[in-house]
Amino acid sequence: MRRLKVFVLCLMAFCILLLRHHYQVLYNRLGVRDLQAASAKFKALRYFWTLTTSTNLSEPRGYQHNQNGRWTGHGNEDQRGDEPAAPTDQDTVTFTLPDPTGPSGELHKRSFLLRDDATQFFVRTKSGATCFREGTDMAFLKVGERVQQTGVGWHKILHFPQEEMKRDQGQSSLGKSLANCTCRPGWHGPHCGIPTMIQHSNLPSKWRLMPRKVPRRVINAININHEFDLLHARFHELADAVDVFLVCESNFTAYGSPKPLHFLHFLLNGTYNYMRHKILYIFLDHFPKGGQQNGWIADDYLRTFLSYDGMSRVKGVRPDDVFLINDADEIPAREGILFLKLYDGWTEPVSIHMRKSLYGFFWKQPGTLDILSACTVAMLFSVYNRDGISLRRREYFTMPGFRAYEKKNGQILLKWSIGSPIHYAGWHCSWCFSPEGIYYKLISAQNGDFPRWGDYAEKRDLNYIKNLIRTGGWFDGSVGQYPHTEHKEHMYAPKYMLNNPQRYKYMLENPYAKKH
């Protein structure tokens, strides 16, 4: 009898856990959380019904093709259940790019051919060890072959001799070393290729990490408004880790107001010539319907269009290449992205712990920004339906294709994070502009993240903004508690900024702090 009671109790506990799991999955499915938070108006229910019954796997969720082949929204339905206003003429405003017969042609229609990275990042020693050059103490490294010197770049990488490449041709990775390498501080593993931010991460499969024979290609997708100083820092930080940058610019702000194409201008005048060979320009020439009434429609659509248009123009993609999507104020550290490029054995999707700061790196905020940012191209297409915003905001287990992808991939999907709350793997610098740049961000902000401070004239006053930068205060009148920071602290700011202190002085030091 006692055994029967124990059995019944265990069965009940199992059923409760099972129901809880299914509820969590249903709770996270598209629209349920928004529906719970919305009012009980019939229009909110109608929106949910339309969204969940009209999904087409070949198109961005929530949008459909019009006669011109563009993606448009369902119309006036509001994700949050608020009564939408009538659409404006700006929903259909378009913009014409420079003359396609000119020297630059139609940049927004060009394709980009991914090629294998000819640079090899490991070297074979006489003792049989395969060592990551950057992480290996070269004083103890006896190289068995002559090392080919690399060209321009602040990272000098060792090359494999051609004989070694041919000998390894049939292998999926470089294999285990017979002898370990001697690692420099900050690097770990038998090959000295595991950075500290990976070593101290929650990656569940560290035991099976192996260097790849051929590096993955990394595709970094970002939307740009006016974050040009941060963009320079990104390009320099990720120069040898990323193979192509998908940079999307629109002639509309996130609010729906027309704006000039500043990034295109800089791209054409040579400002980004040092990275031009890795940039694929994405042009969004329209504003989605309903985006002015519900800013989250516009916010999501920017990333949806970026990933759809961008990935359709990248040629030669392999399923195990890496897709990385960031906001312009999120800069991943090179070491973490290079790890994804060079190693097999990690699971997906991948988030990144980023150091948080406000107005500049001098106001360091508590905790980290840990947001889903990367997965393989195979997962992007099979699970997230090519939609970058789904990667950032949707739990993978709520996506209809994740079970089939797991089965095909032969392993369980497990989310993990590069870095940890105390081991930063990137930087999130929020509102890091001059006062004029913050003003522009205020008036450009989408109409959904309320309160929308750009609607208040006193919040747009430059002297008011300068005082916020000086004190670290927020637009609601509060002042945060910030820990003391110094330039010398680890991961204070991206290396390019620290190496160019005059250019980035307004981000590295509080320009309005009272001098003692």
Cα–Cα distance for residue pair 131/187, rounded to 1 Å: 11
φ/ψ (deg, to 5) at 342: -105, -15
Contact 298, 71 (CB under 8 A): no
- Alpha-carbon dihedral of residues 264, 154, 372, 417, nearest 10 degrees? -170
pLDDT of residue 25 exceeding 70, the answer is no
Cβ proximity of 369 and 354 under 8 Å: yes
Predicted confidence band at 384 (pLDDT cuts at 50, 70, 90)? very high
Q: Higher-confidence residue: 436 or 41?
A: 436
Residues of the chain above pLDDT 90, percent: 61
Cα separation of 65 and 90, whole Å? Answer: 18
Q: Do 163 and 301 contact (CB within 8 A), yes or no?
A: no
Q: Where are the domains of the chain?
A: 212-432
pLDDT tens digits, residue range 98-140? 555 555 668 889 999 999 998 889 998 888 889 999 999 877 6
Most confident of 149-163, 175-189, 224-238, 293-307: 224-238
Q: What is the pLDDT of residues 393-412, one digit of tens each?
A: 888 888 999 999 999 988 88
Task: Provide the phi-psi class of 431: left if phi over 0, else alpha when psi is between -120 and 50, else beta.
Answer: left
Separation between Cα atoms, residue 290 and residue 299, nearest integer Å:
11
Query: What does the pLDDT look like over 67-87, one tens digit per residue?
Result: 333 333 333 333 333 333 333
Pairing of strands 63-65, 71-73: antiparallel
pLDDT digit string (tens) for 198-214? 999 999 999 999 999 99
Among positive and negative, which fits the CA dihedral 163, 168, 174, 179? negative
Convert the pLDDT of each residue in 133-179 to its tens digit: 999 987 766 544 443 333 333 333 333 333 333 333 333 455 554 46
Q: How far apart are CA 16 and CA 10, in angstroms?
A: 10
With contact defined as beta carbons under 8 Å apart, do 439 and 226 qualify? no
Q: Quote the tokens at residue 268.
A: 């054409």
C-alpha torsion angle, residues 192, 194, 196, 197 (rounded to 10) = 160
Classify residue 302 as exposed, middle or buried by CB count within 10 Å of its CB (0-12, 13-18, 19+): buried
Contact 417, 350 (CB under 8 A): yes
- Give the pLDDT of residue 140: 66
- Classified by CATH at the fold level, domain 212-432 comes out as Spore Coat Polysaccharide Biosynthesis Protein SpsA; Chain A (3.90.550)
User: What is the 3-state composition of the chain as percent helix, strand, coil, each rounded to the nearest 5?
Assistant: 35, 20, 45
Q: Is 161 exposed, middle or buried (0-12, 13-18, 19+ CB in 10 A)?
A: middle
pLDDT of residue 484: 84
Q: Which residues of 467-502 are buried (b: 16+ CB within 10 A; e: fewer)?
A: ebbeebbebeeeeeeeeeeeeeeebbbbebbeeeee
pLDDT value for 100: 56
Q: Give tens-digit pLDDT for 442-460.
A: 999 998 888 999 999 999 9
What is residue 353's three-state secondary structure? Answer: strand
Q: Do residues 293 and 78 make contact, with C-beta atoms less than 8 angstroms apart?
A: yes
